[in-house]
Structure 1
Amino acid sequence: MDKVVCVGMNYIDHCEEQNVPVPKEPIFFSKFSSSVVGPNDPIQYPDMTEELDYEVELAVVIGATGKNIPREKALDYVLGYTVAHDVSARDWQLKRNGGQWLIGKTMDGFCPIGPWIVTKSDIADVHNLGIRCRVNGVTKQDSNTNQLVHRVENVIELLSKFVTLLPGDIILTGTPPGVGVFAKPPFFLKRGDKVECEIDEIGTIENLII
C-alpha cells in the first residue's frame, strides 16, 4: 500500500446535518499507511485527544496503476471494495494544528479496514449499499451509498489528475450523518466502547477502544 486517500463531506445527508453546502468537487485529505489496522484489532485511545469520533466509510481498493484516468474507465482500475473506520480526533482535526485535518485523522490505529476485499463483480451496485455504524450495539449512523456526492468514478478521475494511483492504494469515500461531533449534545468514544462498521454485501468490522 502506497497511500490512503480520503474524501471529506461526501454524503449529501452528512452535509445537511452540518448545514453546509454540498462540495462542488471532492475534498481530499490523507491518512498515513501506519494508521491502517485489521478488522478486529483494538484501537488504542490516544492520550492527546479528548474527542475521539467514529466514521464508517466505503473504501475503494485500487488494482492497477493509473494516471489521468477518464471517468468512463475509472472502475477498470478498481480491484474491489471493503469497509473502513475513519477514526477521528476531532479536537486536533477542527480546533488545533492550524485547521489542517491530517494529525486528527492519521494517528496510529485510526484506519481499521476489512473484513476482506469484495471484488467489484460481486457487488450489484456500489452506489446503492446500506452503510451503518454501531457503538455498543446502538446504531449511530445509518444511510446508503446512494447519498454520495461524488461517485467512485468521479473521485478516481479527479484524484488521478494529481497523483498516480498504484495497486493497493485505498480511497475512503466519506461518511454518512450521525457522527458524534455533530450530535446534540456531542457524543465521543471512550475506552471500553465497541464500534461496529457495516456495509451491505461487504461485511462488518468490529474494533474495541482500549
Structure 2
Amino acid sequence: MTDYVIPAPPIVGVPVQGGGLFPVRRIFCVGRNYAAHVREMGGDPNRETPFFFTKPADALVAGGADMPYPTMTQDLHHEMEMVVAIGQGGRGIAESVALQHVFGYAAGLDMTRRDLQAEAKKHGRPWDMAKGFDHSAPIGDIVPAAIAGHPDQGLIELRVNGNVRQSSDLAKMIWSVPETIAYLSRLVVLAPGDLIFSGTPDGVAAVAKGDVLAGQIAGIGTVRTRIV
C-alpha cells in the first residue's frame, strides 16, 4: 500500500446502465462542434479545426443530483451534449478504428460561466474558470456501446422547466465522434476512463436558481439536474 502523506482523492465514478461504475480519469470538451452554435457565438463554422478544453473529473454531477449555482457569475449557461466514454486508450488512433475505443455514451451538460468566458476571450486568457468550476458537468448514466451502438444521428434536446431550449440532431456535428477521437489522440494519449463532451447545438441560454434542466439524446438516455 502506498504511504500517501495526505488522503488520496477518491475515484469519480459514473453509473453505467446495467450496473457498475465507470471510473473517470479526465474530461475533454470539444468547442463549437455544431455549425448553428458556432454562428450564434459569432464564429465561422467553415474555418476552425477542432479545439478542446478540459474539466476536472470531480466536476461531474451524476445520478440526477442538484447543481449549486456557482459563485463569481451572473450569467450561468447550459450546453447540452453527447458524452463519449473511452474504454480503450491509444495515441494517434486511426479514424477507421476509433469507435473500437469507445465504451459507451451518455447525455451531459457543459455548464458555463458565460460572463467569465467572455472576459477571458476579450483578454486572450484561458477558459478554465469559465468551464472547469465545481459541479460544472452534470451527466446521466453511461449506456454501453454494446447496447446503444454508435449513434451518429438522432434527437439531442434540452428542456428548462419543461420548455424546449435546445433541439437539434447528432448528425449536425461538424466533427464526428471518430474524427474527434482521432484528432484528440494526436494531441494527447487517450486512456480508459477519459470522457469527451462532444459539443453543443445552438440555443444556449442563461439559467437561474430553481430551474430544472432535463436533457435527452435519442438512443442514449437522459440527464437531469436542478439549479439550487
Task: Report if TM-score (shorter chain) is over 0.5.
Answer: yes
Show the 5 A alignment for 1:153-164.
Answer: 153-164=178-189
Counterparts of 2:57 and 2:27 in 1: how far apart (Å)? 6
Aligned-CA RMSD value: 1.5
> Could you tell me which residue of structure 1 aligns to residue 218 of structure 2?
200
1:39-60 CA-to-partner distances (Å, cap 9, x unmatched) read 4111111221100000110000
CA contact (8 A) 2:143 2:220 kept: yes
Counterparts of 1:43 and 1:69 in 2: how far apart (Å)? 35
1:115-154 CA-to-partner distances (Å, cap 9, x unmatched) read x222224335521020011111110000001100000011
Letter in 1 for 2:117: Q
Query: Does residue 48 of structure 1 match 2:72?
Result: yes
> Could you tell me which residue of structure 2 aligns to residue 75 of structure 1?
99
Counterparts of 1:147 and 1:139 in 2: how far apart (Å)? 18
Counterparts of 2:129 and 2:26 in 1: how far apart (Å)? 16
Q: Mark the structure with the bigger radius of gyration.
A: 2
Where structure 2 has 5 or more consecutive residues not aligned to the other structure, the ranges are: 1-23
Show the 5 A alignment for 1:124-143.
Answer: 126-143=151-168
Show the 5 A alignment for 1:102-141.
Answer: 102-114=128-140, 116-123=141-148, 126-141=151-166
Give the secondary-structure state (helix, strand or coil) at the position aligned to 2:133. Answer: coil
> Could you tell me which residue of structure 1 aligns to residue 41 of structure 2?
18
1:13-57 CA-to-partner distances (Å, cap 9, x unmatched) read 212333421143111111111211114111111221100000110
> Could you tell me which residue of structure 1 aligns to residue 18 of structure 2?
none
Percent identity between matched residues is: 35
Letter in 1 for 2:25: D
**TM-score for both structures, normalised by structure 2:** 0.84
1:56-102 CA-to-partner distances (Å, cap 9, x unmatched) read 10000000121110110101100011011101100111114844221
Q: Structure 1 65/125 Cα, relative in aligned 2: closer, same or farther at 3 Å?
A: closer
Letter in 2 for 1:198: Q
**TM-score for both structures, normalised by structure 1:** 0.91
Counterparts of 1:29 and 1:83 in 2: how far apart (Å)? 18
> Could you tell me which residue of structure 2 aligns to residue 183 of structure 1?
none
> Could you tell me which residue of structure 2 aligns to residue 144 of structure 1?
169
The alignment covers a number of residue pairs equal to 202
> Could you tell me which residue of structure 2 aligns to residue 184 of structure 1?
none
Q: Structure 1 133/91 Cα, relative in aligned 2: closer, same or farther at 3 Å?
A: same
Counterparts of 2:119 and 2:189 in 1: how far apart (Å)? 32
